[in-house]
Amino acid sequence: MAHLQLGDTAPDFIADSQLGETAFHQWKGDSWAVLFSHPADKTPVCTTEMGRFAQREEEFTKCNVKLVGLSVDTVEEHKAWIPDIEKFAGAEVNYPILDDADKKVSELYGMIHPGEGDTNSVRAGFVVDPEHTIRLILMCPKSTGRNVDEILRVVDALQTADSAGAATGADWKVGDRIIVPPTIPTDEAREQFEDVEEIYPYLRFTTGRKK
C-alpha cells in the first residue's frame, strides 16, 4: 500500500472510465485535479457525494480544477449507476469515474484500508496541482460523506497562497485577509503589500494587495 505525503508527485496511471481511457497526467495537463474515491457503486452515501460533485463541477472548473472519481467497480457498473446519481442530484455527471476493479489505482494511492472492514476503497481525496504535486490528502470513513464546500475552499486557499506568497488562516474564504509568512519581516512585508496589520510579530494580516 502506498504511503503518499504532501509534496509527493501524484503517481501517474492509465485507467478506463465511462468517458473512455484516462491517462492521469496527460488528461490533467496543466490543470489542478481532485481525485476522489468512494467504496462502491449504488450505495447511499456515495450517491450523495457523486451527485454533489456533479452539482459543483462548474465551480471547480472556474478554479481550473478537473474532477475524477474512482471505485473498485467496473465501467459497466458505473454506467448503470450514473442515471441514479443524475436523477437524485438534478445534475449531469460530466467527470470521469474510473474503473478500478483490479484495484491498481487504489493500491497506488493507498486508498484500500483493510481495517475498515473490507477491501473496497475508502473515501480518499487528493488535490493535485498543475505540476502534479499532491497538495491535500483527505481521508474520511465510509460512513461519513465529504464536505465539497471544504474541498473548494482549500483549493481557493492553496491557489491564493501560491499567487500571493502568503498563507491563509482558520476558516479562510475568498475575500478574507491573508497571513504574512513568519519568514518575511514586517518592514519587508509593508514594502510588498499595501496594508499590513501586525497582531504579534509572528502574526500579520494583509489584504494581499501588492504595492
The partner residues of 198 in beta bridges, in order of sequence, read: 204
Cell numbers 472548473 label which residue? 61
Residues 135 and 33 placed together within one structural domain of the fold: yes
Amino acid 135: pLDDT: 98
Residues 68 and 126 placed together within one structural domain of the fold: yes
Residues 131 and 60 placed together within one structural domain of the fold: yes
Residues 116 and 191 placed together within one structural domain of the fold: no
Given the residues 4, 46, 54, 161, select the one marked as catalytic.
Answer: 46
Number of domains making up the chain: 2
Q: Structural domain of residue 111, as residue ranges?
A: 14-145
Q: Distance (Å, rounded) from C-alpha 184 to C-alpha 190?
A: 10
Q: Distance (Å, rounded) from C-alpha 133 to C-alpha 29?
A: 12
Give the CATH number for residue 50. Answer: 3.40.30.10
Closest listed residue to residue 28, CA positions, set 6, 13, 17: 13
Residue 193 lies in a domain: yes
Residues 139 and 40 placed together within one structural domain of the fold: yes
Residues 111 and 176 placed together within one structural domain of the fold: no
Amino acid 119: pLDDT: 54
Residues 118 and 173 placed together within one structural domain of the fold: no
Amino acid 128: pLDDT: 98
pTM of the model: 0.91
Question: Over 90: is that where the pLDDT of 209 sits?
Answer: no
Question: Over 90: is that where the pLDDT of 58 sits?
Answer: yes
Residues 54 and 128 placed together within one structural domain of the fold: yes
Collapsing DSSP to helix, strand or coil, 126 comes out as: strand
In the residue annotation, 46 being an active-site residue is answered as: yes
- The dihedral over CA atoms of 124, 155, 153, 186, expressed in degrees to the nearest 10, equals 130
Residues 140 and 67 placed together within one structural domain of the fold: yes
Residue 154 lies in a domain: no
Residue 160 lies in a domain: no
Query: Would you tell me how many other CB atoms lie within 10 Å of the CB of residue 53?
Result: 25
pLDDT in tens, 95-154: 999 999 999 999 899 887 665 555 555 689 999 999 999 999 998 888 888 999 999 999
Residues 94 and 171 placed together within one structural domain of the fold: no
Mean pLDDT confidence for 201-208: 93
Q: Distance (Å, rounded) from C-alpha 72 to C-alpha 41?
A: 9
When pLDDT is cut at 50, 70 and 90, the band that residue 10 belongs to is very high
Mean pLDDT of the chain: 92
